[in-house]
Chain A
């Protein structure tokens, strides 16, 4: 036994330690790499950051409906707001908002053609089966002066992007 203790020299100890640490890296590393694999760099579900036209193209009081991008852009006195045009009930695209130009968001109305959910200009549900209101998105300006809507960031319906 004393001979055994002698054999566990520092060199042997170091080599064993190095071996086990490397062994664990080569085992755990690929496991972590496989977990990373579940979070792809890109997805093909359509873009989440939507670029619209130049800021000045939208006159104050206008409401622009983007059927292809499925969003609605409000240009109000205080700035821009953007909400989804997808009904939270069963994901139909709502109708464009109706109301006089420059009208208060409270009297604007949009309906979902599928089951008749009604929303006001703040995205609130006024009737129908929709379980919650329309989501409003974060807006920024691109370097070339265009409106950029980031649909990954949901903000309060009252939040404006000020110019």
Chain B
């Protein structure tokens, strides 16, 4: 024992300092990584929502339930995992009647008949990056994510792929279609076999470019975003007309495969 102490003390003091400093650094880096993993943006939103929930609680029971709920991961799995939407981790009030007049991110979502959230999720209509859990990433307004959140009237484009007919709640598609015909786009572009061959086929234009900003920019200055394009500029159109045209372009895509429910396997139903 005394011998080891003796040896111990023969280690130069500088080495002891270096050992302590390096170990402390390693431990701090580890603790920092744990903290960075824990301290996520969504926890802040969930905390705020809990506070609002406590404020708006009608009964003592509701208040207690709100207080006792902790931070939780939540996701909507659409069509067996084709899409996974975690929007509800921050947008906590989407189905809560007490948040009818709340501001984003806690506003209640209007109920759309036949489109339950647990079946459709969010990104099928709103676009964005469903799996992301930070605001920027989730809204898809980051490089290399092709489907940014559709804001304002652009959301109407999402009705198009499934609802081919005129929709009362999505008038911009219809207006865009009309503008498409009135401005003679048909002369160069083809949609579902009808139209010219000078420009690209637009049957699935909304699948190739999903960012409304790109379309607006393209209508104003085609060569700026698509060098060498022979398309004339349509910057003379009114901004709302450009928006309608963009909505129409975005609506030109196939129905999301996430919504085509998988047929139950024979073993699950007992039928051949």
Contact = CB atoms under 8 A, between A and B. Distances in A.
Report, as a range, how many residues of chain B touch the other chain: 35 or more
B27 A25 contact: yes
A92 to B, nearest CB: 6
A33 B22 CA distance: 21
A70 B77 CA distance: 16
A163 to B, nearest CB: 14
Contact of A29 (B13, B34, B73, B84): B34
Contacts of B2: 1
17 contacts: A5-B9, A8-B5, A8-B8, A16-B16, A19-B23, A19-B24, A21-B23, A22-B20, A25-B30, A26-B23, A29-B34, A44-B77, A44-B84, A50-B118, A95-B270, A114-B267, A143-B95
Given A1-B2, A15-B16, A144-B96, A20 B23 contact: yes
B13 A143 contact: no
Contacts of B96: 143-144
B19 A44 contact: no
Interface of B: 2, 5-6, 8-10, 13, 16-17, 19-20, 22-24, 26-31, 34, 73, 75-77, 80-81, 84, 95-98, 116, 118, 261, 264, 267-270
B118 A7 contact: no
A51 interface: yes
A33 B270 contact: no
B16 A19 contact: yes
Given A5-B5, A18-B24, A143-B97, A42 B270 contact: no
B16 A92 contact: no
Interface of A: 1, 4-5, 7-8, 12, 15-16, 18-23, 25-26, 29-30, 33, 41-42, 44, 46-47, 50-51, 67-68, 92-93, 95, 112-114, 142-145
A143 B118 contact: no
Contacts of A44: 77, 81, 84
B31 A51 contact: no
B6 A4 contact: yes
A29 B6 contact: no
A17 B116 CA distance: 59
Contacts of B73: 41-42
A25 B9 contact: no
B95 A142 contact: yes
Given A4-B10, A113-B270, A143-B96, 11 more contacts: A19-B23, A21-B23, A21-B27, A22-B23, A22-B26, A22-B28, A25-B31, A29-B31, A42-B73, A44-B81, A93-B268
B80 A92 contact: no
B16 A12 contact: yes
B95 A93 contact: no
A60 to B, nearest CB: 24
Contact of B270 (A18, A26, A93, A145): A93
